[in-house]
Amino acid sequence: QLRLQESGPGLVKPSETLSLTCEVSGGSISTTIYYWGWIRQPPGKGLEWIGSIFYSGTTSYNPSLKSRATISADTSKTLISLKLTSLTAADTALYYCATMSVDSNTFDSWGQGTLLIVSS
């Protein structure tokens, strides 16, 4: 069974760059049956899609992030990574990694999330 585990620094300062990783176990990230996505949730608020990466390496991002996000995949380490630049307090959120089924284009498996706080 596929398992996703996010990890990150927990606390970063404004204007810095965030690096998060999602370790995938129980399956290959080179699979053609899943895409991979990052979604975030500010405390007490709703879900926001950040972006996705496809088995071809193609990526797609939420335009609201204004090109601050970069998603990549390291097949040798079974890691999906997210970089987010120019952080502000508005980026404080729980960050989730999730699989997106190619059949349904929905997020059918999620990690438990990693909390990021942006504060000086």
Report yes or no: 100 and 36 within 8 Å, Cβ to Cβ: yes
Which residues share a beta bridge with 81? 21, 72
62 binds other proteins (CB under 8 A): yes
Exposed, middle or buried by CB within 10 Å (0-12, 13-18, 19+), for 92?
middle
Main-chain dihedrals φ then ψ at residue 104, nearest 5 degrees:
-110, -10
36 binds other proteins (CB under 8 A): no
56 binds other proteins (CB under 8 A): no
1 binds other proteins (CB under 8 A): no
23 binds other proteins (CB under 8 A): no
Binding positions for other proteins, rule: CB under 8 A: 35, 37, 46-49, 52, 54, 60, 62-63, 96, 98, 104-108, 110-113
